[in-house]
Amino acid sequence: MKLKNVLLDIEGPLAVVTVNRPEKLNALNKETITELHQAFQSLDDDNEIRVIILTGSGQKAFVAGADIAEFADYTAREGKRLSKEGQEKLFNFVENLKTPVIAAVNGFALGGGLELAMACHFRVASHNARLGLPEVSLGVIPGYGGTQRLPQLVGKGRAMEMILTAGMIDVDRALDFGLVNHVTSIEELIEYCKKIALKIASNSPIAISYAINAVNAGFNYDQDGFQTEIKAFGACFATEDFEEGTSAFMEKRKADFPGH
């Protein structure tokens, strides 16, 4: 796979995906969104890959938003399509992958950048990160799921304040809000994420994919989260991973799960 704006680095069961447009603070143009879709699809299809870490190139930005230059002269119809296609191709797509994705937020995560971090399964940030949804300062609203995922993560009042002021918050605030789970130095960020990722990688990949599905179902109005959980719980009993996990416990050894 030949990618221009996305770097892939694979190390055992872990993959690091880096958005690589540092001269534009890793802003998401259409080409980058398509490449990210391709990269995530191929990693999710790869049974050896257990966890994906997503970060931005350079020390300044995770992703500074959708590429403003690209949509500045769009019509209403084009704007609607941009939002719909982006949500389908990247944001909802990442959230619903069977492989967990950790956002390593290494700098500005603004607009589409924060929306992308929020579509990941959880977030770790470096001290220099600044997070916000500045869209209303540009005369638009968040269009890649920000009006939905930010209230889910931080609560309606805090989300409203962030969206309506268009302001940025620092990592102390983001940690306090539960928007990021951990804060590290910039040098340690990826290693810190890899440590968490390796813990995840030792667990059953099938159970992990069912867990992601069940948690997400609770935030989807078309689904019943409890019913999804019941079905997924039952389905686990028919898997080799369940046999291996329970046998390993009884035999007082570490479980060795095959790929999903």
Contact 162/132 with Cβ under 8 angstroms? yes
d(CA 247, CA 95): 31
Q: Residue 32: which of 5, 66, 57 has the closest Cα?
A: 5
CB of 64 to ligand COA, least distance (A): 4
d(CA 186, CA 125): 8
Query: By CB under 6 A, is residue 13 in contact with ligand COA?
Result: no
CB of 61 to ligand COA, least distance (A): 7
Out of 115, 187, 188, 244, pick the active-site residue. Answer: 115
Contact 153/118 with Cβ under 8 angstroms? yes
The footprint of ligand COA on residues 112-141 (CB under 6 A) is 112, 134-135, 138
- Closest to ligand COA by CB, 24 vs 231, is 24
> What backbone phi and psi angles, to 5 degrees, belong to 161?
-60, -45
- Closest to ligand COA by CB, 58 vs 151, is 58
Query: By CB under 6 A, is residue 111 in contact with ligand COA?
Result: yes
Coil, strand or helix at 111? coil
135 is a catalytic site residue: yes
CB of 1 to ligand COA, least distance (A): 25
Query: By CB under 6 A, is residue 24 in contact with ligand COA?
Result: yes
Query: By CB under 6 A, is residue 66 in contact with ligand COA?
Result: yes
Out of 70, 78, 135, 161, pick the active-site residue. Answer: 135
Instruction: Pick one of 52, 53, 54, 64: the residue that binds ligand COA (CB under 6 A).
Output: 64
CB of 119 to ligand COA, least distance (A): 15
Estimate to the nearest angstrom the gap between the alpha carbon of 36 and the chain centroid: 12
d(CA 196, CA 205): 15
CB of 5 to ligand COA, least distance (A): 13
| 190 HSE (CA, 13 A, CB side) | 18
- Paired tokens of 114: 């924060």
Contact 55/93 with Cβ under 8 angstroms? no
Contact 57/21 with Cβ under 8 angstroms? yes
> Which string of x and - marks every residue 70-109 that binds ligand COA (by CB under 6 A)?
--------------------------------------x-
Interface residue list for ligand COA (CB under 6 A): 24-25, 27, 64-69, 108, 110-112, 134-135, 138
Residues with a catalytic annotation lie at 115, 135
